[in-house]
């Protein structure tokens, strides 16, 4: 069965490589000029009724150097009702490289605006780094901190296996720490793409994160991205 799948993938026509479509680890590739990306993310716990969702839209500003985006979040915890989460406004600068470079660096600064009146705004700093290890493997690293009423820190790493331009497998590892808790999550997953007319690329994905420290929770992630030009000369 595995050999048959590989043969089918190799028989597919050439397509643009999937990029900037990880689930938990941020890749260091800004949007190309004239191209917008819409990202939907949904995570559901395998035990209980808890879930988290996120919608992000990324826009280039003039060139690949500058990117603005926003994220809208919602969640539900066991024993509690559904609630809207924070609104996040992001700016990312392409400091080094691009999606075709061997090394790319793209620091990000974000303002986190809470939807609950008793919480205060926070500032998040993140440094994503992406490297091409070989023609078939790419790695990504993140280091960041959230500064506000409660400080937290994040370190993350992922390896992506480029099995085919339209089909990738990946393993993401995320460590997060706050004042009273730490967590370590390992998440294997897959993603694939559909290249449609007029530059539209659709990328669905599935992942299965496991918390190895802290909550011990297991989840299922469903991911969906639409990326397309928003002007004719893109």
Q: How confident is the model over 74-130, as pLDDT tens digits?
A: 988 776 666 788 999 999 999 999 989 999 999 999 999 988 767 789 999 999 999
Two tokens at 77? 């915890």
Residue 86 has a CB neighbour count (10 Å cut-off) of: 20
Predicted local distance difference test score (pLDDT) of residue 79: 64
The dihedral over CA atoms of 56, 96, 157, 135, expressed in degrees to the nearest 10, equals 100
84: left (phi over 0), alpha (psi -120 to 50) or beta: beta
- H/E segment holding residue 7: helix 2-10
Distance (Å) of CA 120 to CA 29, 34, 107, 220:
30, 35, 24, 30
pLDDT tens for 189-226 read 999 999 999 999 999 999 999 999 766 789 999 999 99
User: Which overall architecture, per CATH, does domain 2-229 show?
Assistant: Beta Barrel (2.40)
* Residues 164 and 195 sit within 8 Å (Cβ to Cβ): no
Using CA atoms, how far apart are residues 90 and 47, in angstroms rounded to an integer?
32
What is the pTM assigned to this prediction? 0.88
Give CA–CA dist 189/164, Å, rounded: 15
Backbone angles phi, psi at 9, to 5 degrees: -65, -45
Percent of the chain with pLDDT over 90: 71
């Amino acid at each position: 069965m595995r050999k048959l799948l590989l043969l089918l993938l190799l028989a597919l026509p050439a397509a643009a490589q999937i990029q900037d479509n990880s689930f938990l680890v941020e890749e260091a590739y800004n949007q190309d000029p004239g191209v917008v990306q819409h990202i939907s993310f949904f995570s559901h716990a395998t035990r209980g009724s808890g879930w988290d969702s996120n919608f992000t839209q990324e826009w280039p500003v003039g060139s690949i150097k500058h990117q603005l985006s926003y994220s809208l979040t919602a969640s539900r915890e066991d024993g509690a009702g559904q609630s809207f989460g924070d609104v996040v406004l992001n700016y990312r600068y392409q400091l080094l490289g691009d999606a075709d470079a061997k090394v790319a660096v793209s620091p990000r600064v974000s303002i986190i605006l809470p939807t609950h009146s008793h919480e205060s705004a926070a500032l998040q700093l993140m440094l994503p780094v992406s490297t091409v290890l070989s023609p078939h493997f790419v790695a990504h690293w993140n280091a960041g901190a959230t500064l506000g009423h409660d400080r937290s820190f994040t370190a993350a790493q992922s390896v992506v296996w480029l099995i085919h331009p339209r089909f990738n497998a990946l393993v993401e590892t995320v460590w997060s720490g706050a004042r009273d808790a730490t967590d370590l999550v390992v998440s294997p997953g897959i993603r694939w793409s559909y290249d449609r007319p007029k530059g539209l690329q659709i990328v669905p994905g599935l992942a299965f994160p496991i918390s190895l420290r802290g909550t011990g929770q297991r989840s299922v992630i469903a991911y969906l991205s639409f990326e397309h030009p928003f002007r004719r000369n893109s």
